[in-house]
Structure 1
């Protein structure tokens, strides 16, 4: 979702040696390995648009609509390949979102009441105002049911734009945007669960709840081995999937459980490993001095045992949430999100579709809901919360930066496309909504970038001052 300070410094150093490296410094946030990045998603979107609008477009869509059947004995389930991407892979993305939400609540920008209220108020405004705009345009039409399309934002793209100003904006800008994005995405998931669940089977949800409770019990017992958690997490997904609720809810629900504190502090680590380190050194030296192979092997075994102990203690200093995010983000950034774009972006950029979309209330509602509704809702609600004394501006963050945050929040893309697929069964309405989402995401990205470029510290200076 951005560049770490160390990686940012490395990229900046490369820019002194090569013009190409200077360009790399600008695009690196879109391809950062350690964070969920928007670059692969953007490339996959462009590829999908080109293929869909090529002579092979119909074959491409049929490929993703081809059923993939999984069976065991008399039991079988067959779903289009695109739905398997949405239902089986996208929960991994929302697992990361759920984890980020918890980290912000426990020790991030939501850790205290007044700092939590600021992005929470913004998220409420960023939900209510866009939906009001959308309903205002689509009231009384078949498209009204798609109000959830403007409910959420694209975390990967919005944070990648902020990361382009890593050293020129206060760190609190990214923290507020991350908190807003996390809450906004949770609202989007609740919209999916409440408004776009067609059938409900409570017994499956009971199975999911039992597995979820099992994860809680293992966490209370401080169970370390990951396999039981993986198995129970799979049962949670199966239960939610079978209940009729969209399985992305399972991802964010499990993410909210992940521990955000390490099992062993760094001070505790230093105390516990000092003696094993000394024992390892002694055993290693004994192995080198041994007169025969038997003594050397015994000393070597002692050394390996001490190394194993030290390794486990080092692992205990790692947060489970951070470790999972570190493992999943490359897969999500370079496989899950691109596959989602390749299978779900089906916009035919024909003059006829564009002409219909321009006149359609659905496209106007989506475009204006995202482009205007998100920044107005976020800015207005946070301003009101601060005026009432319920919230305060984070250190170093000014109102123009808040406007920039609201601007990039209009990049609905991933989740908006996701909800559009669920909301509209009419292909024409789905294409109009997707075209409007694409247009709104491009405009919002450009506007957000322009605002941040205007308020950011000059190149070469760090952002050590508050904005106006």
Structure 2
């Protein structure tokens, strides 16, 4: 039913390729890499990082770019992390939206109860380990790294799903459980980014622009055509809107929503999320990685298919712009992030999953053992993409951010740990 290999090849390998280039570049010629990341694409008064911050980041190199005094600078890093990554989070939001809203959504009903408990454990466990060890290292370390508490809560859905298949086999119920956990983790991660990591002073009035964009595009290009077509099986107005206008009204609404987020102080990479639910959607979904998804012709799935290849490029650029960390940057934040992931995740998933499955008697999927929860936690400890992203917003550019990013990169060690855990716990692989 599920075809993960193409997804991993298209998305994850390009991301890894970009990250590897960045690592090599940053460790052979850090100065030129730094200039690339902060390269000014547009001096303006509306979009980008503040001029003051850019000059501080560029240092003496800022003088090489002759420019008039403006309030903002659109840099290469801002373009990728704050604008282009909005399309990546829109796809993640689409999967979460389907899982929650559709009648047979994977995050609805009793079948999702235990995975949701395990998801909570997979977040509280890493936070507890991260902050607990930071406190043990002393108040200076704690104060320096405390804002990065959300970094080890992330789960890289594509890599974790791939490793889960290797450990359990494609037909094992634990793989489905892992997928539900990862989707719920994505949803929680989006909420954390919005609430705890604003990009500037909050100006919530600007969110009215995002709200108006979402409501307007839904009413005029989704609800109204269907309303006017009631009783008419030909549905001429809905068909005209779908064929002639397609996704263009939603792109315009998305641009306005993104701008509202950017001006409100919330992270603009989340700016397309309010628009996702407004697109016409089929009454069912086959699930992320499902081959059958490509045959759905509703506008939401059609738009996701159109975004597929552009987002591949975006993830390559994301790896290139964010993974360029010098190995000399390894420090306390590296080990705190890594400990949060490879210790906190398995323990948290096991404890909370046990409470949900046995104490509250919500149960586990047929054929899945309690000890499998621990192995699932090991697999979910691969943070990578979202951990890198959170590290980039949790800390200002500098040694602490670089060290935390290295911890996110090192989380790939969880793949090897998962394979060992599967052997030790005698997981019986089941192929589809």
* Shorter-chain TM-score range: 0.7 to 0.9
**Secondary structure in 2 matching 1:161:** helix
Q: In structure 2, do the counterparts of structure 1 residues 76 and 219 end up closer, same or farther at CA, with 3 Å as the change threshold?
A: farther
1:445 is aligned to 2:419: no
Listed one character per residue, the Cα deviations across residues 123-148 of structure 1 (whole Å, up to 9, x for unaligned) are 11111111111111223322112112
Partner of 1:421: 392
Cα pair 2:296 2:302 within 8 Å, conserved: no
Partner of 1:81: 76
Q: In structure 2, do the counterparts of structure 1 residues 96 and 163 end up closer, same or farther at CA, with 3 Å as the change threshold?
A: farther
1:339 is aligned to 2:317: yes
Cα pair 1:204 1:243 within 8 Å, conserved: yes
**Secondary structure in 1 matching 2:273:** helix
Partner of 1:128: 124
Listed one character per residue, the Cα deviations across residues 181-215 of structure 1 (whole Å, up to 9, x for unaligned) are 22212222222222221311223211111111123
Deviation at 1:90, TM superposition (A): 0.8
**Secondary structure in 2 matching 1:392:** coil
**Secondary structure in 2 matching 1:430:** helix
Q: In structure 2, do the counterparts of structure 1 residues 450 and 95 end up closer, same or farther at CA, with 3 Å as the change threshold?
A: farther
1:245-256 paired onto structure 2 within 5 Å: 245-256=266-277
Partner of 1:235: 256
Q: Distance in 2 between matches of 1:245 and 1:67?
A: 22
1:328 is aligned to 2:324: no
Q: Return 5+ residue gaps in structure 1 as ranges.
A: 5-26, 264-314, 464-468
Provide TM-score, normalisation by structure 1.
Answer: 0.72
Q: Return 5+ residue gaps in structure 2 as ranges.
A: 47-68, 227-237, 285-293
Partner of 2:65: none
Q: Distance in 2 between matches of 1:70 and 1:384?
A: 54
1:129-208 paired onto structure 2 within 5 Å: 129-139=125-135, 140=139, 141=142, 142-164=144-166, 168-170=169-171, 172-197=173-198, 198-208=200-210
**Secondary structure in 2 matching 1:377:** helix
Q: In structure 2, do the counterparts of structure 1 residues 231 and 171 end up closer, same or farther at CA, with 3 Å as the change threshold?
A: farther
Task: Tell me which structure has the larger Cα radius of gyration.
Answer: 1
Deviation at 1:227, TM superposition (A): 1.7
Partner of 2:115: 119
Deviation at 1:327, TM superposition (A): 2.3
Q: Distance in 2 between matches of 1:47 and 1:185?
A: 27
Cα pair 2:257 2:274 within 8 Å, conserved: no
Deviation at 1:60, TM superposition (A): 1.5
Cα pair 1:170 1:396 within 8 Å, conserved: no
Q: In structure 2, do the counterparts of structure 1 residues 317 and 328 end up closer, same or farther at CA, with 3 Å as the change threshold?
A: closer
User: Which residue of 219, 222, 245 maps to 1:219?
Assistant: 222
Partner of 1:281: none
User: Which residue of 376, 387, 390 maps to 2:358?
Assistant: 387
Cα pair 1:207 1:236 within 8 Å, conserved: yes
Listed one character per residue, the Cα deviations across residues 2-59 of structure 1 (whole Å, up to 9, x for unaligned) are 626xxxxxxxxxxxxxxxxxxxxxx76630x4xxx311111221121111111x2210
Q: Distance in 2 between matches of 1:149 and 1:389?
A: 29
Cα pair 1:101 1:179 within 8 Å, conserved: no
1:99 is aligned to 2:100: no
Partner of 2:12: 38
1:375 is aligned to 2:378: no
Q: In structure 2, do the counterparts of structure 1 residues 108 and 157 end up closer, same or farther at CA, with 3 Å as the change threshold?
A: farther
RMSD across aligned positions (CA):
3.0
Cα pair 2:154 2:387 within 8 Å, conserved: yes
**Secondary structure in 2 matching 1:455:** coil
Listed one character per residue, the Cα deviations across residues 54-108 of structure 1 (whole Å, up to 9, x for unaligned) are 1x22102211111221659999742321121001111111111111112222255
Q: In structure 2, do the counterparts of structure 1 residues 66 and 331 end up closer, same or farther at CA, with 3 Å as the change threshold?
A: same
Provide TM-score, normalisation by structure 2.
Answer: 0.77
Q: Distance in 1 between matches of 2:351 and 2:157?
A: 21
Q: In structure 2, do the counterparts of structure 1 residues 379 and 109 end up closer, same or farther at CA, with 3 Å as the change threshold?
A: farther
Q: In structure 2, do the counterparts of structure 1 residues 91 and 121 end up closer, same or farther at CA, with 3 Å as the change threshold?
A: same
Deviation at 1:377, TM superposition (A): 1.1
